[in-house]
Structure 1
Amino acid sequence: MNRKVKEVADLVGISVRTLHHYDEIGLLKPDAVSESGYRLYSPANLDMLQQILFFKELGFPLKQIHEIITDPTFNRTEALILQKNMLIEKRSRLDQMIVTINKTIQYEKGAIEMNEKERFKGLGFSHNPYEEEARKRWGNQRVDEANEKVQSFSQEEQQSISNEWESIYTHLASLRDLSPSSTEAQKAIATWYQFLNENFGTYSLEAFKGLGEMYVQDERFTTNIDRYGKGLAKFMNEAMSVFAEAKKQ
Structure 2
Amino acid sequence: MPYMVKEVAELAGVSVRTLHYYDQIGLLKPAAITPAGYRLYTDEDLERLQQILFFKELGFPLQEIKQILDSPGFDRAQALRDHKQLLLEKKKRLEEIIRTVDKTLSSIEGGITMDKKDMFGGFDMTKIKEHQEKYAAEARAKYGSAIVDETERRTNAYTESDWARIMGEWENVIRGIVEAMENGPADPQVQEGVGKLRQHITRYY
User: What is the TM-score when the length of structure 1 is the normalising length?
Assistant: 0.54
Deviations 1:212-249, CA, capped at 9 Å, x for gaps: xxxxxxxxxxxxxxxxxxxxxxxxxxxxxxxxxxxxxx
CA distance in 2, matches of 1:199, 1:186: 21
Identity of aligned residues (%): 43
Structure 1 residue matching 2:110: 3-state secondary structure: coil
Larger RCO of the pair (alpha carbons < 8 Å, separation 6+): 2
**Counterparts of residues 1-249 of structure 1 (less than 5 Å):** 1-110=1-110, 112-124=112-124, 172-176=133-137, 178=138, 182=141, 184=143, 186-187=145-146, 190-191=149-150, 194-195=153-154
- Measure the CA separation in 2 of the matches of 1:196 and 1:77: 25
Larger Rg: 1
Q: Aligned partner of 1:191: which letter?
A: E
Q: Compare 191-200 and 45-54 and name the one that shifted more.
A: 191-200
Deviation at 1:16, TM superposition (A): 0.4
In 2, are the aligned partners of 1:175 and 1:184 still within 8 Å (CA)? no
Normalising to structure 2: TM-score of the pair?
Answer: 0.64
5+ residue gaps, structure 2, are 160-205
1:170 positional shift: 7.2
Distance 1:37 1:85, change over 3 A: same
Distance verdict in 2 for CA 1:59–1:115, change over 3 Å:
same
Is the contact between residue 3 and residue 40 of structure 2 (CA under 8 Å) also seen in structure 1?
Answer: yes
1:48-76 superposed Cα distances (whole Å, 9 cap, x missing partner): 01111122222222222222211111111
* Compared CA separation, residues 171 and 66, structure 1 to 2 (3 A): farther
Question: Partner of 1:40: helix, strand, or coil?
Answer: strand
- Cα distance in 2 between the residues matched to 1:192 and 1:57: 13
